[in-house]
Amino acid sequence: MGQSLSWLAFKGPALEAGLERLGLAPTASVGEWMRKSLTGHALPGGWHLVLAPRCDHAIVSPASLERLSLQAEVIACSVEEHVMFSSAEFWKNGEKLWRLVHDAQQGRRHLDARGALPDGYADALSRAAEEQAAEDAGADEVDFYFEVPLEIARQIAGFKHDEEHPALDYEQFDIYATAPGAAGATRKWWQVWK
């Protein structure tokens, strides 16, 4: 079964300030990392990871990333394994510096690369091209270009959704709630005053 998720990692502000910019608030609860709510965990190197349970979640929208990146470095990914879609982008000082998108619906070798890409991009692309050529000559079942955006994000923040990370306790992710009054905050149908 394929996964559908969004994640971002930010570095710079304190956790509370970063969550506030995302319109999130910490709760006193912890749980599994891939639950149906927003979760997060500290990463080595000063990064903080925030996971959302679907591809292209509001936390990785341009407005959200721009707001957060005014005080932080931000790497964001969207993943939809069911259709082999992946994207990664990097923001700093309120600007998107680069973006990588792979959409298998556009072709197995599709890769839209824009901006000042990081140093590891050329190597990741070369590896994907070699592995895809070998795959296409054989079983022709694996999409290696899907990995390029995710690998670049891993090189920066140290996280990839489908790889075990020794510093993470996957049963003890912090659970976040949408902050009251935040953009995208939801209310119960009967709470007309909110």
pLDDT for 137: 87
Q: In sequence order, what are the residues at sequence separation of 6 or more whose Cβ sits closer than 8 angstroms to the Cβ of residue 163?
A: 154
Q: Position of tokens 């070369």? A: 126
Residue 141 pLDDT grade (very low, low, confident, very high; cuts 50, 70, 90): confident
Whole-number mean pLDDT of the chain?
A: 90
Ranges of each domain in the chain = 4-178
pLDDT at 67: 97
Q: Is 20 in contact with 181 (CB distance < 8 Å)? A: no
Q: Please say if the pLDDT value at position 160 is more than 60.
A: yes
Is the confidence at residue 51, as pLDDT, over 60? yes
Whether the per-residue pLDDT at 186 is higher than 60: the answer is no
pLDDT at 34: 81
- pLDDT per position as a tens digit, 14-47: 999 999 999 999 999 999 988 778 999 999 999 9
Cross-sheet strand order for the sheet of 4-11: 24-31, 173-178, 38-42, 48-52, 4-11, 73-80, 85-92, 95-103, 112-115
Q: How confident is the model at residue 57 (pLDDT cuts 50, 70, 90)?
A: very high
pLDDT for res 184: 45
Which two structure tokens, joined as six digits, stand for 78?
């969207």
d(CA 164, CA 190): 42
Q: Model-level pTM?
A: 0.90
